Copies of this chain bind each other. A is one copy, B any other.
Amino acid sequence: MTDVTDPDRARLYEELALESRRYLAAYVLFNQAVADHLGLHPTDVQCLSLLTAEPAPLTVRQIADRTGLTTGSATRLVDRLERGGYVTRTPDRQDRRRVLVTPVPERLARVTALWDDLGQTWQTLLDDHSEDELRAITRHLRRAHDLGHTQVQRLRAMPRPD
């Protein structure tokens, strides 16, 4: 079993925590750089990432939830993307209150091309990991994602300290 009091292990935890912070800080800068390069805002890039990752088109509310924006701001966000030609609005036939936001592939080609280019280099990082290591990394990311989700819930439920 894992001994939590093991000093070597504690050191590994600390290193991993530090690298995580650096990694996340680098991601923020990276996302900003991608947005600047495309003449968009980081939020817009984030939204396009969400839309392309999902198989089905999202509603405005779903976009709002997944970006942390209000529905009002999400409307403006979709306005910008629509004006830029990145997405189209389609009314939902099932629920006529809803609006489906569909990405426009040909307009997104340049964006995805950039992602693919950057992602290709990124994949070379993985080449000298064993399959077990890759599984371990993936598992950690998934569980960290899930935890982050529940932590957000907790934070929103906690009373504001002021």
Q: Which residues of A contact B (CB under 8 A)?
A: 2, 4, 8-9, 12-13, 15-30, 32-34, 36-39, 46, 49-50, 53, 66-68, 110, 118-119, 121-123, 125-138, 140-145, 147-149, 151-152, 155-156, 158, 160-162
Chain multiplicity (copies): 2
Interchain CB contact (< 8 A) of A131 among B9, B18, B144:
B9
CB-based contact B32/A68 at 8 Å: yes
Known: A32-B68, A68-B32, A161-B110. A18 touches B143 (CB 8 A): no
Among A8, A18, A143, the one with the most B-chain Cβ atoms within 10 Å of its Cβ is: A143
Which residues of B are found within 8 Å of A39, using beta-carbon distances?
160, 162
Choose from B38, B66, B144 the contact partner of A125 (Cβ within 8 Å): B144
| Given A68-B29, A133-B136, CB of A125 within 8 Å of CB of B143 | yes
- Please give, as numbers and ranges, the residues of chain B lying within 8 Å of A21 by CB-CB distance: 49, 53
Contact yes or no, B129 A18, CB < 8 A:
no
Our pick among B28, B36, B46, B122 for the contact of A144 (Cβ within 8 Å) is B122
Known A17-B119, A37-B158, A148-B30: A66·B25 in contact at CB below 8 Å: yes
